[in-house]
């Protein structure tokens, strides 16, 4: 049964709330919560709609399929990556520290962190969603760094190494909350990880 | 209904196979496959038993609860961590490269990689399993490195940084197979990541 294309979706219960923007945000929040709690495969449009207190038809109306909705959920944490070219502009010899500072500042924000963790959890738990995330990271992060480094195989490899440390920092500090790295101050993390990113961007890599 | 404690579990179908060791290994393999395919929460003792072609009672008999079985599945990928003290013994100034080489050699083995990926996927997908994994990593990896570095807060922090790069390498190269890092040769990875681990172990961290 297709529930798409209904022109006047009704909320199933609850008092009337704000307009379309409000409902859209509530659906996104509910999707984050469901993907995090159930994982991608077990979460359904229906369970997300129930959590958001809207009709399933409204979810389809705004976001299309479950995969489309997941893409929208990923999109918010990836938005900041769009400013990467700006961040990498200027002196390349200090870009490692700027990048580390930017990442830590971003992930220290509770709202960002909550959605980012849900995305990381959901995408790691399933091959399908891992593919969606790899596409995003390749497009939004790797390609921008590769371009800034002038393109080519070595630049690509450097971007991949940068990603390995960034992803590792996010997973251990924010997703797993592994004590010694989760307990470090933002300044300590930037001081420790910045030079690693810098070496991957511009340093000697062949040992 | 409890199915534990049955003394003579029967296989449900299929020809008789090897002894207890064989059945135990088949159950572990099936658990790896189920945890990877379904995630921890959706996988059941029943679905794992069906995949292994044994009675659910036999799974309970060998492994107890689903959490116990997951712990057993984690245990194999964590076994090599037990040789960490040996690996870290000797010259601490070259331990970063030895550690990078050891990790890459291990994860390049298909059997190890398959089980390791299943564990990473399953544990990231659920808060419950993430807790089990954090316990293992803390005990088996962080504590050994901290001890080798002489203990104390700075040693703990160094161990946490080592974990951030190791986990990031495993996630990007083996689990997500992010192209530029997945396509690098083992030697390239060791040459690039070894010095990072070395700096986290013994280098300057305060910028």
pLDDT (tens digit per residue) in A54-70: 999 999 999 999 988 98
Tell me which DSSP letter residue A197 carries.
H
Enter the tokens of residue A23: 């409902």
Q: Which chain B positions have a beta carbon within 8 Å of A171's beta carbon? A: 124, 164, 167-168, 171
Q: Is residue A13's pLDDT more than 60? A: no
Under a CB-based contact definition with an 8 Å cutoff, are residues A28 and A79 in contact?
A: no
What would the mean pLDDT of B78-101 be, rounded to a whole number? 88
- A175 burial via Cβ count (<10 Å: 0-12, 13-18, 19+): buried
Q: Which chain B positions have a beta carbon within 8 Å of A193's beta carbon? A: 161, 164
What would the mean pLDDT of A192-200 be, rounded to a whole number? 97
Residues 6+ apart with CB under 8 A from B150: none
Task: Show which of residues 160-199 on chain A sit within 8 Å of chain B, judged by CB atoms.
Answer: 160-161, 163-169, 171-173, 175-181, 184, 188, 190-196, 199
Enter the tokens of residue B75: 């245990």
Q: Which chain A positions have a beta carbon within 8 Å of B190's beta carbon? A: 207
Confidence of residue A192 (pLDDT cuts 50, 70, 90): very high
Q: How many helices (H) and strands (E) would you count in chain A?
A: 12, 0
DSSP string, B42-57: H--HHHHHHHHTS-HH
Buried b (16+ CB within 10 A) or exposed e, B184-201: beeebbbbbbbbbbbbbb
Confidence of residue B141 (pLDDT cuts 50, 70, 90): confident
Residues 6+ apart with CB under 8 A from A162: A99, A145, A197, A200, A201
In this prediction, residue B75 carries a pLDDT of 80
Calpha distance A199→B7 (Å, rounded): 60
Enter the tokens of residue B193: 């990541």
Answer whether A172 sits within 8 Å of B184, measured CB to CB: no
Answer whether B39 sits within 8 Å of A126, measured CB to CB: yes
Q: Comparing C-alpha atoms, which of B47, B121, B44 is closest to residue B77?
A: B121
Confidence of residue A115 (pLDDT cuts 50, 70, 90): confident
Helix axis angle, A56-63 relative to A66-78, nearest 10°? 60
Angle (CA) B50-B51-B55 rounded to 5° is 35
Buried b (16+ CB within 10 A) or exposed e, A78-112: bebbeebeebbeeeeeebbbbbbbbbbeebeeeeb
Calpha distance A38→A34 (Å, rounded): 6
Q: Tens digits of per-residue pLDDT, A57-112? A: 999 999 999 988 988 888 877 777 778 888 898 899 999 999 999 999 999 998 88
The shortest CB-CB distance from B176 to any of A41, A130, A192 is to A130
Residue bearing the bigger pLDDT, A138 or A155: A155
Q: Which chain B positions have a beta carbon within 8 Å of A159's beta carbon? A: 180
Angle (CA) B145-A99-A71 rounded to 5° is 95
Nearest chain B residue to A143, by CA: B180
The ipTM (two decimal places) reads 0.81
Which residue in the block uniquely carries the two structure tokens 């544990």? B123
In this prediction, residue B14 carries a pLDDT of 45
Q: Is residue A167's pLDDT more than 90? A: yes
Answer whether A206 sits within 8 Å of B191, measured CB to CB: yes
Q: How many CB atoms lie within 10 A of CB A55?
A: 20
Q: Tens digits of per-residue pLDDT, B94-129? A: 999 999 999 999 999 988 888 888 888 877 766 777
Which residue in the block uniquely carries the two structure tokens 């990231």? B124
Q: Which chain B positions have a beta carbon within 8 Å of A143's beta carbon? A: none
3 state SS for A52-102: HCCCHHHHHHHHCCHHHHHHHHHHHHHHHHHHHHHHHCCCHHHHHHHHHHH
Q: Tens digits of per-residue pLDDT, B149-200? A: 999 999 999 999 999 999 999 999 999 999 999 999 999 999 999 999 999 9
Calpha distance A155→B81 (Å, rounded): 33
Whether the model pTM is above 0.95? no
Under a CB-based contact definition with an 8 Å cutoff, are residues A108 and A170 in contact?
A: no
Under a CB-based contact definition with an 8 Å cutoff, are residues B87 and B141 in contact?
A: no
């Amino acid at each position: 049964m297709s529930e798409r294309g209904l022109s006047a979706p009704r909320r199933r219960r609850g008092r009337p709330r704000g307009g379309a923007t409000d409902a859209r945000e509530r659906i996104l929040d509910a999707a984050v919560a469901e993907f995090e709690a159930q994982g991608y495969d077990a979460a359904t449009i229906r369970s997300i709609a129930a959590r958001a207190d809207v009709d399933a038809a409204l979810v389809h109306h705004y976001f299309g399929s479950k995969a489309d909705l997941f893409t929208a959920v990923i999109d918010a944490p990836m938005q900041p990556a769009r400013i990467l070219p700006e961040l990498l502009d200027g002196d390349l010899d200090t870009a490692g520290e700027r990048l580390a500072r930017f990442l830590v500042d971003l992930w220290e924000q509770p709202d960002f962190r909550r959605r980012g963790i849900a995305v990381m959890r959901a995408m790691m738990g399933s091959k399908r969603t891992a593919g969606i995330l790899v596409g995003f990271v390749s497009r939004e992060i790797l390609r921008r760094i590769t371009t800034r480094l002038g393109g080519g195989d070595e630049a690509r490899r450097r971007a991949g190494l940068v990603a390995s440390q960034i992803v590792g920092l996010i997973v251990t500090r924010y997703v797993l909350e592994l004590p010694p790295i989760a307990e470090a101050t933002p300044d300590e993390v930037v001081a420790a990880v910045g030079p690693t990113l810098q070496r991957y961007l511009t340093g000697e890599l062949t040992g």
